[in-house]
A and B are shown apart, each in its own frame.
Chain A
Amino acid sequence: MSRALIEVKGLFHTYHPNTPFAREALRGVDLKLESGQVLGLVGPSPSGKSTLLQYLNGLYVPQPDQGKVWVLGQDTAAPDTSLWEIRRRVALLFQQPEQQLFEPTVLRDVALGLRNFGVALEDELEKRVREALERAGLDPERVLRRYSRTLSGGERRRVALACILALEPEVLLLDDPLSGLDPRGRWRLLGVLKSLAERGISMVIASTRLDYLIPLVDSLAVMADGRILAFGSLHEVLNREDVLRAAGLQLPEIWRVQQELRSRGLPLGEPAADPAEAARRIARALGVA
């Protein structure tokens, strides 16, 4: 039986069940991620995005009556599934991951997962760490021996990303990776994520904002109140204005400008996310290019 890289069917999750604090976080979620695809998971906080990502990382496992989760073709609730193995191959970058650096130095922090999972021999640890830092857009020479708490917020977040890149996962799960960063940190990390996407790594990226996701993702799932309101290709979902409004999401200005022009009769195709590309298309449509 061939399955998608990740598949979720009818998933429910309740925090603090059977207590006065019970809160339903997921109410029947269906989702699919194909190999090489970048999927955006967008919705307000809380809408269940983080909980869902934790299911995909094997941190939560559905009870029989809570639905099904298949990761890399394996049912995570099956007794012979190694969640430990799944956590390496489908790695999760938590929200605000810079608060979860454990070790005194960057080198040891990035090496922590390599050691835990036993994926690198001791003598090649440092080489692997350097490669991971480079892929995360950091200069290994500069940060390798530093104490991670002395780095800037954006750098620490990229160290946290390096921690999971070092494991060479097949799928990256990123929980609101750009939140709380300053513009420069955001821009740098966005660049890193784009280059990862171009290298064909499958990703699920959760975010509360559409504008960061649009240039990164192929498909989009809109979440609100523990439900998936819409799921499909980026363009399909972005045209579902009703859904976006229901989830309290705003389209990027550049997108709305193109939609407005189209509705006024300008012969534009699907809107473009990239401002330069959008300008080119508008100019062409106006006959000035």
Chain B
Amino acid sequence: MMMEVSRYVTIGRYVPGDSVLHRLDPRTKLLTFGLLVSTLLVVKGYVPYLLLLGFAVVLLLLSRIPVRYVLAGLRPALWVLAILWVFQIIFSGSSYPDHPTLFRLGSWRATWGGVHAGALNVLRISVLYLLTSLLTLTAGLVELADAGEMLLSPLARLGVPLNEVALVFTIALRFVPTLAEELERLVKAQISRGARLDEGGFLGRARRLIPLVVPLFLSIFDRAEDLILAMEARCYRGGRGRSKAVAFAFQPLDALAAVVVLAVVAAAWLTGLMLPF
């Protein structure tokens, strides 16, 4: 039933564990993740993508998270990916005017160029999906937010209000469960007063959404006033000098991880540049 959903809201997907991946410093996780993702965004080609896919699979095995659990999340996405691939094939005529025609659908012309471009996209997105899953499965969101703040700390010297932004993230993560409870109360109150939330088409659902979402937004502003007062009463002045609850420390393992990832990334760049496919 819909009202039960908010009881099970988990924003992160962190699965505690003791694998090599889990033990890495969160900064290492975030940095190597960023490196791999940006490589995927820039480099193009079957060889580098397959290389990165292979690497991601090795990481998945190293993480000791049940493979089935990760793939279960990928399954619904596969359908959309397949549909997108079909679209990219059907509508590829104008992008590859000199490619021979595979088949025609009305005025649209399918080409091999579309098949290739689509295949590369499916590969790239699958690897990106695996990498994001690995990151969120082996690191908590709060941990990642702290790591991000530390990695970006040079920006603070350039006048970017980094501490403040980090606090925004902390508040957002902290208040999701509270607001989930609030939402659940609203959903139950609506159902108790005769609303039929699951029924109806688009307009009906949209109309019923409003009495849930609008009070939720308004309650935020109530809450905000209390929170502002509390923070000002404690003399909050920016985040300067704020200390972390947990101190991070790089280990030899982090150096090893960095070297391995750099090697994989370099290999992907080189094969992407040098091999014509």
Interface, chain A (partner B; CB < 8 A): 15-16, 54, 57, 59, 84, 87-88, 91-92, 94, 97, 99-103, 112-113, 116-117, 149, 163-164, 167
Contacts and interface: CB of A to CB of B under 8 A. Distances in A.
A220 to B, nearest CB: 25
A43 to B, nearest CB: 21
A48 to B, nearest CB: 16
A115 to B, nearest CB: 8
Contact of B188 (A54, A88, A102, A149): A54
Given A59-B3, A87-B194, A117-B194, A100 B8 contact: no
B185 A84 contact: no
Sort A-B residue pairs by CB-CB distance and give the 5 closest, nearest first.
Answer: A116-B194, A100-B189, A102-B211, A113-B193, A117-B194
A112 B132 CA distance: 44
B196 A84 contact: yes
B51 interface: no
Interface residues of B, number: 20
Contact of B190 (A88, A91, A97, A102): A102
Interface in B178-199: 185-186, 188-196
Nearest to B8: A16
B224 to A, nearest CB: 15
Contacts of A116: 193-196
Q: Tell me the dominant secondary structure on chain A's binding face.
A: helix
Given A15-B7, A16-B7, A100-B186, A88 B191 contact: no
Which of A59, A94, A101 has the most chain B CB atoms inside 10 A of its CB? A59
A57 B192 contact: yes
Contacts of A117: 194
A87 B192 contact: yes
Contacts of A94: 185, 188-189, 192
Nearest to B10: A19
B14 to A, nearest CB: 13
A100 B186 CA distance: 6
B189 A84 contact: no
